[in-house]
Amino acid sequence: MKIALISDTHYGARLDNQIFAEYFQKFYDNIFFPYLDEHNITTVIHLGDVVDRRKYINYKTLNDLRENFIYRLWKMKVDTHIIVGNHDTFYKNTNTPNSMIELFSTADGTVEPWIYDAPREVDYDGLLVLIVPWINSDNYDECINAIKTTKAEVMMGHFEIRGFMMNSSRVCDLGMDQKIFDKFDLVFSGHFHHKSSNGPIHYLGNPYEITWSDCDDIRGFHIFDTETRELERIINPYKMFHKILYNDSKETFESITEKDYSVYTGSIVKVIVEEKTNPFWFDALLDKLYKNNVANVSVVENFDMEFEEDEIDQAEDTITILSKYIDAMTLDVNKKKLDSLMLTLYNEALDFEIT
Higher pLDDT, 6 or 315: 6
pTM confidence score: 0.86
Checking DSSP bridges between strand 186-190 and strand 127-132, what pairing results, if any? unpaired
Residue (of 213, 285, 210, 187) closest to 245 by Cα position: 285
Q: Which tens digits make up the pLDDT trace of 136-194?
A: 999 999 999 999 999 999 999 999 999 999 988 889 998 999 999 999 999 999 999 99
Dmax over CA atoms of the chain, in Å, equals 69
Q: What is the pLDDT of residue 308?
A: 40
Residue (of 159, 106, 110) closest to 130 by Cα position: 159
Burial of 119 by CB count in 10 Å (0-12 exposed, 13-18 middle, 19+ buried)?
Answer: buried
Alpha carbon of residue 285 to chain centroid: 31
Q: Which tens digits make up the pLDDT trace of 113-141?
A: 899 999 999 999 999 999 999 999 999 99
Residue (of 184, 112, 191, 109) closest to 146 by Cα position: 184
Q: Are 49 and 85 in contact (CB under 8 A)?
A: yes
**Residue 319 — pLDDT band, cuts 50, 70, 90?**
low
Q: Which tens digits make up the pLDDT trace of 17-70?
A: 999 999 999 999 999 999 999 999 999 999 999 999 999 999 999 999 999 999
Q: Which tens digits make up the pLDDT trace of 190-243?
A: 999 999 999 999 999 999 999 999 999 999 999 999 999 999 999 999 999 999
- Whether 309 has a pLDDT exceeding 70, the answer reads no
In CATH terms, the fold of domain 2-236 is Purple Acid Phosphatase; chain A, domain 2 (3.60.21)
Q: What is the pLDDT of residue 132?
A: 98
Task: Report the alpha-carbon distance of residue 315 to residue 270 in Å, rounded.
Answer: 8
Residues present in the chain in total: 355
Q: At residue 275, what are phi and psi to the nearest 5 degrees? A: -155, 130
Query: Where in the chain do CATH 3.60.21.10 domains reside?
Result: 2-236
Q: Which tens digits make up the pLDDT trace of 65-105?
A: 999 999 999 999 999 999 999 999 999 999 999 999 999 88
- Whether 106 has a pLDDT exceeding 90, the answer reads no
Residue (of 167, 164, 154) closest to 230 by Cα position: 154
- Whether 311 has a pLDDT exceeding 60, the answer reads no
Q: Which tens digits make up the pLDDT trace of 320-339?
A: 666 666 666 666 667 666 76
- Whether 349 has a pLDDT exceeding 70, the answer reads no
**Residue 304 — pLDDT band, cuts 50, 70, 90?**
very low
Q: What is the pLDDT of residue 320?
A: 65
Checking DSSP bridges between strand 79-83 and strand 115-116, what pairing results, if any? parallel
The overall average pLDDT reported for the chain is 90
**Residue 263 — pLDDT band, cuts 50, 70, 90?**
very high
